[in-house]
Amino acid sequence: MTDFKKIEDKLKTETKRLLESGEVTVVLAYGKGFDESHPMPYAAKTIADVENMVFNEYCNYNMARYLVRYPQGTKIAIAVKAADSRAVIQLIQEEKVKRENLVILGIPVQGMKNPKTGEIIDSKTTCGMYNPVLFDMLLGEEVHGAKSASPYEVLSQYEEMDKDARWEFWEKELDKCIRCYACRKACPMCYCDPCFIDQSKPKWADKAPQSPGNMMYHLTRFHHLAGRCIDCGECSRACPVDIPLYLFHKKVAKECEEMFNQKAGMSIEDKPVLVDFRVEDSDKILD
Amino acid sequence: MLKKIAIENISQLASELMEKGNLIAPVKEASGHNFAQISDPQRVDLNYYNTLMSPKSAFFPHKEDFVQYKVGKPLSEAEPTVLNLKPAFLFGVRPCDVKSFEIMDIHFNAAGIIDPYWRARREAATIFGYAYDLSLPVDSADFYNTLGIYAADPEGSDIFMVKKEKELLLKSITPKGEKLLAALSVLADASSADEKYFEEYIKKGKEYKTRYTEVDSEVIAKKLESVFDNTDFWTKVSTACLSCGICTFVCPNCYCFDICDDTLFGKGIRSRVWDACMFTDFTLEASGHNPRTQVYQRLRQKILHKYSYHIRKYGVISCVGCGRCTRQCPVNIDIYSIIEAAMKVK
């Protein structure tokens, strides 16, 4: 199993080194929260900040979400787990950040937990990978030989439903939405400014937490993330009313993978599938 | 007056209350407990720590329709919403949440404009306060002691309830509560041992400690004003903040709203919908200018509104320490820690 303490120590040492040498101006990682099971996303900017850093099984946050907050050109070091590294790659593909401005601190990790439920989330709400895809250095030992469930395994029940049942399912689930927009705010790929739902001319949906506005918001967001979602599960964990948003994202990701033979955020050489055109692209959607 | 009922028979009490009016009580939902208008008495469930959403929506719904109209037609044809004024019973409210109503009254029922919707609902309601279960550990996010509220504080409730093993003891606090309690036939009279238990419980409630820090509202207001310009401080405490609206929506004391006109095919509805100072478009002006474009500015606004401006304007802190904002925050931002940190800034 993952030695969290060792990773934390390495994270602190590297942060200190990177800040001292001036290689980066900020290190995006994890810091202490109000108690041990509640760590927080953290930005270390000075040596004094290092002592507040932490890494444990509740550090689920995808720090890639914070990259776009810094002006282009800022030298940033970022701690990434497997899915988070895919988000960084996706952001590089989409030209939101440049590879040369990043120092990527990879964290291979197994056994991350949802702080609300305590359950292990490795493949249920995340992409099921243990090792970061892209990194400049690793803060722990790569996980080899561990059985990793398919990230799409949780879809089996969902896929058994027919069209009508799925519509009913989402109507019921999205009816719970209180429109706090935590899902889009926690999402590393939701960086539109302004988000369509905040526009008033035209106003795409009403503000009230009910259908059809809820549907409009979520279905649009789901589709904006087609071929881009890297399955970190942050949207679902951020949701205060536990809407299983990951089901839709995983389903779309699976279909994209089948149709275009490409997974989001796996290589900085790739182009997002819905931006790229290839002659051999699937025509399945036209059938 | 002290009465009692076995907790397993709580649905009978619920049924009797439903005959007398609308019952709003906690029900178990997939993500936790929430207050809901009860249609099936079996659904009332007292097995909760505190609800996910605050009970403010009983008086101040997330969306409230004011008037329906047709575009281009005279005003006289508009149809204002008529309030359903049946008596309401707000059942199982924790002491910190009961306190929040009093603070909300300042905005909707006392200073300046009286809000007829809030007032009508508030007057129609009888509040059944419910002490925290002192045998269970306190949630690490709670800090209502800091705001001078205790786990078994009957103040503000019409009827206050405590759990005694498998029974629920109900004591009337106000004349309104006494009248209702006397009229509820499913309740049994309590014994003198129950009386003693109830009194002891209230006392023991003071020993049930949440996080606590000494706050003098004047001192805190002044301190926060002095750190207002300390951008480094606010940037630091808001590093993690996603600027979503969870904290304000679950807060029993956040009362900001937006007036929305939604028209479709010539038919319109004007309604009031909760808004949140954490949203970017909250302060977006018609000119396109936005005075609060940064996350730190919005978080600072939220905290200063509660712990500074509100004190200056109305003399009280607009927070009851229920801990919901901290518990529900996806990135564990903790208002208590921020206040503590602000007090330490030199």
Domain ranges for chain B: 2-53+84-205, 217-256+275-344
- Contact state of A240 with B336 under an 8 Å Cβ cutoff: no
- pLDDT (0 to 100) of residue A1: 73
CB contact at 8 A, B129 and B200? no
Chain B residues whose beta carbon lies within 8 Å of the beta carbon of residue A44: none
Interchain pair B245, A182: CB under 8 A:
yes
Residue pointed to by tokens 């649905």: B11
Q: At A122, list the tokens.
A: 């490795």
Binary contact (A61, B30; C-beta < 8 A): no
Instruction: Choose among A236, A38, A26: nearest CA to B331.
Output: A38
Contact call for A186 and B242, based on CB within 8 A: yes
Contact between A208 and B260 using a beta-carbon 8 Å cutoff? yes
Chain-wide mean pLDDT for chain B? 95
pLDDT of residue A277: 87
Mutate to test the interface with B, among A53, A185, A197 (most CBs of B within 10 A): A185
Chain B residue with Cα closest to A60:
B331
Our CA-based measurement puts residue B99 at a distance from the nearest CA of chain A, in whole angstroms, of 24
Mean pLDDT of chain A: 93
Give the C-alpha separation, A219 to B198, whole Å: 52
Q: Alpha-carbon distance B314 to B30, whole Å?
A: 38
Inter-chain touch B337–A206, beta carbons under 8 Å: no
Nearest to B46 by CA among B17, B14, B16: B14
Could you tell me if the ipTM is greater than 0.95? no
Q: Which two tokens stand for residue A130?
A: 């243990």
**Confidence (pLDDT) at A189:** 96
Interior angle at CA B12, CA B7 and CA B16, nearest 5: 130
Q: Which of A30, A36, A37, A40 best probes binding to B when mutated, by most B CB atoms within 10 angstroms?
A: A40
* Confidence grade of residue B128 (pLDDT, cut at 50, 70, 90): very high
Q: In chain B, which residues touch A (CB < 8 A)?
A: 29-31, 52-53, 62-63, 140-141, 239-240, 242-246, 249-250, 258, 260, 262, 271, 273, 275-276, 279-281, 295, 326, 328, 330-334, 336-337
Written as one string, the DSSP assignment of B8-70 is GGHHHHHHHHHHHSEEEEEEEETTEEEEEE-SSGGGB----SS-SS-GGGGTS-SEEEEEEEE
Sorted by sequence, the CB contacts under 8 Å of residue B81 that are 6+ apart come out as: B64, B65, B66, B67, B68
The whole-number pLDDT of residue A124 equals: 80
Search chain B and give the residue with CA nearest A210.
Answer: B63
Which of B29, B262, B281 lies closest to A194 in CB terms?
B281
pLDDT bin (cut points 50, 70, 90) of residue A134 is: very high
At A220-251, the pLDDT tens digits run: 999 999 999 999 999 999 999 999 999 999 99
Is A240 in contact with B242 (Cβ distance < 8 A)? Answer: no
Answer yes or no: do A238 and B330 touch at CB < 8 A.
yes
In Å, how far is B320's CA from the nearest CA of chain A?
A: 18
Answer for the pair B103, B307: CB distance below 8 angstroms, yes or no: no
Chain A residues within 8 A (CB-CB) of chain B? 31, 33-35, 38-43, 61, 65-66, 69, 176, 178-182, 185-186, 193-194, 198, 200, 206-210, 234, 237-238, 240-242
Element (H, E) at B179: helix B175-183
Answer yes or no: is pLDDT of A287 > 80.
no
Q: For residue B328, which amino acid is it? A: Q
The distance of B273 to chain A (nearest Cα, Å) reads 6
Res B228: pLDDT: 97
- Cβ–Cβ below 8 Å for B281 and A180: no
Amino acid at B267: K
Distance from CA of B294 to the nearest CA of A (A): 10
SS3 B314: helix
Contacts of A218 (CB under 8 A, 6+ apart): A170, A174, A177, A245, A248
Q: Higher confidence at residue B112 or residue A92?
A: A92
- Which chain A residues touch B332 with a CB distance below 8 Å? 33-34, 38-40
- Residue A99 reports pLDDT greater than 90: yes
What's the first-to-final CA gap in chain A, in angstroms? Answer: 47
Measured between CB atoms, which of A41, A206, A241 is closest to B240?
A41
The pLDDT tens digits of the residues spanning A169-221 come to 999 999 999 999 999 999 999 999 899 999 888 889 999 999 899 999 999 99
Specify the pTM: 0.94
B316-to-B110, B221, B340 alpha-carbon distances in Å: 14, 10, 18
Q: List C-alpha distances in Å: B279 to A221, B204, B246, B301.
A: 17, 41, 10, 12
Q: Residue B39's Cα: distance from chain center in Å?
A: 22
Distance from CA of B321 to the nearest CA of A (A): 15
> In the structure, what pLDDT confidence band is assigned to residue B85 with cuts at 50, 70 and 90?
confident
Whole-angstrom CA distances from B266 to A227, B65, B72, B74, B94 are: 39, 17, 8, 13, 45
Confidence label for B214 from pLDDT (cuts 50, 70 and 90): confident
CB A199 within 8 A of CB B288: no
Interface A-B: count of C-beta contacts within 8 A: 100
Determine how many CB atoms are found less than 10 A away from the CB of residue B316: 15
CA contacts within 13 A on the Cβ side of B124: 19
Choose the mutation target among B35, B210, B242, B340 for the interface with A, i.e. most A CBs under 10 Å: B242
Tell me how close the Cα of A261 comes to any Cα of chain B, in angstroms.
33
